[in-house]
Structure 1
């Protein structure tokens, strides 16, 4: 089981919350998980624990902490989704400054982990993971799940091996968007599943898609340095 920790922004020293799940035995690497608009939810904390069992020391940074602090609402989410908080959480995502706020938090999490370090993200976090692949340092590979805004950042070419997981019936990412991504990056793996949006999350869960995408993500990490290491050594 993991526990809350505090990370420090490399840019201005701001302290923000994160969930940290250490490995119990052989360490394969570090992993940064980028959350959807709902924040560091119970589901993501459980997912972090699962990746830690697979050998990946995992950190889930709370990427909206600067805005949450202004609202006096810091702390991890108590529910995986909360319709009453949708407007607030979606507003955080819309106002997020990719460099100063979001990617700054991702970089702090990367820096807190011994290499090799990987990243993945879901929905809002899927776009964050895409941008981290091009703008952050210290990553070895990235997996992005249904990042709806990737289409707006196609010029941010990943600098590390990257793959995308998308749902064939995801109304937020239509076929034309998928085609544009494939055209821009014809050699990048873009996996489509017989599922809609959020097929890993409880609110859109699709068992076969979640299982296969997880397998492909772990294979990506293994191919790019995620071996059986102890003591945090690369």
Structure 2
């Protein structure tokens, strides 16, 4: 249903993103933020399911600034690799990957002509929280088990849009 496209961030960086479009006019748009496994089959399927329900969906590759074309599975080795990539992205100067997420929000608004929400899983949940607190063009945010969201620095942030955060215990 979807396909990869290239987005251009405010600083000129080209970030790949999975884009899934509904059959008819979009009833809204959703930016989907990856876990530490890249824009893998799970994240693409989430975007495709949203499109099947009438939403324009875009999933930017938030590892692209440190390594392109990351698609990991869920093995211990993949988890270690993904954690290392996350650490490299978190160490980026300035706003890190937030400009890439802003480019996805801008594309979603332009292509859908509708309100834009954002959803993220694990590390993507943390990036969703940060996006809700600092980026323009969002109407709502949903974080699933946002790793690191409860640290004092993150709790001190103030969201600009309504946020729904899901957490659980093992």
TM-score normalised over the length of structure 2: 0.89
CA contact (8 A) 2:37 2:70 kept: no
Of the two, which has the highest radius of gyration? 1
8 Å CA contact retained: 1:17, 1:62: yes
Shift in Å, 1:13: 0.2
Name the Cα RMSD after superposition.
Answer: 1.6
* 1: CA distance, partners of 2:87 / 2:116: 28
Give me the whole-angstrom Cα distance separating, in 2, the residues matched to 1:66 and 1:82.
23
The C-alpha deviation readout for 1:149-180, integer Å capped at 9, x for no partner, is 111201111110110111232xxxxxxxxxxx
Runs ≥4 in structure 1, deviation > 3 angstroms? 97-100
Matches within 5 A, 1:1-234: 1-10=1-10, 12-68=11-67, 74-77=68-71, 79-96=72-89, 97=92, 100-114=95-109, 115-152=114-151, 153-169=154-170
Taking structure 1 as reference, are residues 30 and 136 closer, same or farther at Cα in structure 2, changes over 3 Å only? same
Q: In 1, distance between residues paired with 2:106 and 2:158? A: 22
Rate the CA distance shift 1:20–1:75 in 2: closer, same or farther, 3 A: same
Query: Which ranges in structure 2 are unaligned for 5 or more consecutive residues?
Result: none
Q: Tell me the TM-score normalised to structure 1 length.
A: 0.65
Separation (CA, whole Å) in 2 of partners of 1:25 and 1:98: 40
| Unmatched 5+ stretches in structure 1 | 69-73, 170-234
Separation in structure 1 between the aligned mates of residue 159 and residue 55 of structure 2, nearest angstrom: 22
Distance 1:95 1:75, change over 3 A: closer
Q: Distance in 1 between matches of 2:94 and 2:164?
A: 22
